[in-house]
Structure 1
Amino acid sequence: MTGSKDMCERLATFLDDDSFARLAVERRDEFRNADPFPHAVIDNFLPQDIATAVANGYPDPNDASVKWKTHANANVLRKFVEDTASMSLPLRLLANATISRQFLLFLETLSGIDCLLADPYFIGGGAMATGPGEFLKIHADFNWHHKLQAHRRLNALLYLAPDWKPEWGGNLELWSKDMTRKVHSIEPKFNRLIVFEVADDSNHGQPEPLKTPPGVFRRVFSAFYYTARKDDAEWNAPHFTLYKPENSPYSMSLRSEYEKAAKDSVA
């Protein structure tokens, strides 16, 4: 019982560590300059004990008591769980972490995109599982969240299948904006986080059918992030006074304070 309580506390607080702020600052130039679109691949993102606890609590695609949804058509074949009520406690706490203030500040610092909104509904995301023969063809993501009324800007994918073998495939492929070449093929290694910017030409997918043994699944927790507007030029909806985010010193100071923690922790 004590061990479970300690792990819950770890899952609820691990993002408070200033090492995440340092990581975001260190990797932001790489993110913004990445080809074929802004992205970063971060290995060993979670502390090892937390990654193991979350992996051990990942839902079984064969468990009928879990609220699995299925994508099944010519372009995709996989299962996913959006509803956190159908997740184990460790996975639910991880889900909470991905929509937290601290993780939003991490993503804003890494990407340079301010005023990010998390999706607490995990629409189209959450705990995903792809089994033998399943796939996701190269695509660009949906760009509008009807529930939040917001524009999609970032994806964060955390791989949670321990002891993944390269011969199983399942690599995330990033393709050029004109779809003429595959630029990156990224193995779904355990505890690897991939963050990338979403646009109409952010072409990606896992197009090759998986070659995993029966009962072995490619597991990735996916969280998507939004903004209320696409960019500074998009202020064309009906409005009264147009207050820009920069006119709120307090709200815009949150990220600078987060970055300051990164500097102070190594001073």
Structure 2
Amino acid sequence: MKRTDIGQFVAARLRENLDSACRQWRENAPVHHFFIDDVLPQELAMEIRRGFPEASTMMLRKSLRELKYVSAQMNEHAPILEEAIFAFQEPEVVDLVAQITQLNALCPDEHLYAGGISMMGRGHFLNPHLDNSHDKDRQRYRVLNLLYYVSPDWRAENGGNLEVWPNGPKAGPVTIVSKFNRLAVMITNQHSWHSVSPNLSDEARCCVSNYYFSDHPAGNAGYFHPTSFRGRPQQPVRDVVLRADATARGLVRKVFPKGVVVNKQVYHKEDEE
């Protein structure tokens, strides 16, 4: 199954759910988002899940900010994973997402900067945060996050669910369950606080993720910020530490716009080496 074929399935589901997705997007301000279920044929979604590698072969991101396994080097894994990821970058898919979100000049990311695949085991989490505002070269704004979930029989009580914080990380979140074969799309800008609740199950929460970028910000004014984390409302000490961390990272990026540490979560293709 090639990316063009998988992309046709994705595009068909987007077209079938166009009105519903547009309505969700409008109604979920200020952290605009929508989700669509049964995106791919069930057996294809299961094949993508079976293609996930052993956690030991992935990069572990472990800090007060997050705990999860990630990989963007897709040529090291089952071919179906690369085809699935880039299916969400097919032109028809991008055009339909643009129709739903009304965002201009969307550009998918062939380098999978901070994208790719992720796996979260028991106790893994992602604290409330704002994504880095730009791409790896600080040329385009990061405007959309596309998350496709492939953990069979995933339930809300498992945890490991996407949370958006429309009133910031001191208020309560809205939960979008990481349901099997679900695509969730959310805006990323200076207000789009989001997180993943701790995985409370013994099952791995697996996700295929893409970012879309644009020459235009997702809003009326330009902005810049590095990835910035916060503590949850019940984590006051961690919140203080993460606020200080975000401030320090922001100061570094003012001096070194592209950062001083190379983000390893990027797809280094063989023909570019």
Range of TM-score over shorter length? 0.7 to 0.9
User: Quick check: 1:189 aligned with 2:176?
Assistant: no
1:20 Cα deviation after fit: 2.8
From 175, 196, 199, the counterpart of 1:210: 199
Gaps of 5+ in 1: 1-6, 236-267
Q: Which residue of 2 aligns with 1:107?
A: 97
From 17, 21, 29, the counterpart of 1:27: 21
Query: 3-state SS of the aligned residue for 1:147?
Result: coil
1:101 Cα deviation after fit: 0.6
User: Quick check: 1:61 aligned with 2:55?
Assistant: yes
Query: 3-state SS of the aligned residue for 1:142?
Result: coil
**Deviations, residues 2-57 of structure 1 (Å, cap 9, x unaligned):** xxxxx448844534864532423442132122144211021112222321221121
Query: 3-state SS of the aligned residue for 2:82?
Result: helix
Aligned mates of 1:24, 1:16 — CA distance in 2: 12
- How many correspondences in the alignment? 222
Q: Which amino acid aligns with 1:49?
A: E
Q: How is 1:106-185 mapped onto 2 (pairs within 5 angstroms)?
A: 106-147=96-137, 149-185=139-175
Query: 3-state SS of the aligned residue for 2:143?
Result: strand
TM-score in terms of structure 1 length: 0.75
- Cα pair distance change 1:107/1:206, threshold 3 Å: same
TM-score in terms of structure 2 length: 0.73
Question: Contact (CA 8 Å) 2:9, 2:40: kept in 1 or not?
Answer: no
- Cα pair distance change 1:228/1:192, threshold 3 Å: same
Query: 3-state SS of the aligned residue for 2:207?
Result: strand
Aligned mates of 1:93, 1:21 — CA distance in 2: 21
Query: 3-state SS of the aligned residue for 2:104?
Result: coil
User: Quick check: 1:229 aligned with 2:216?
Assistant: yes
**Deviations, residues 62-90 of structure 1 (Å, cap 9, x unaligned):** 3x3xxx22221111011111122123121
Gaps of 5+ in 2: 223-273
Which structure has the greater CA radius of gyration? 1
* Aligned residues with identical type, % of pairs: 24
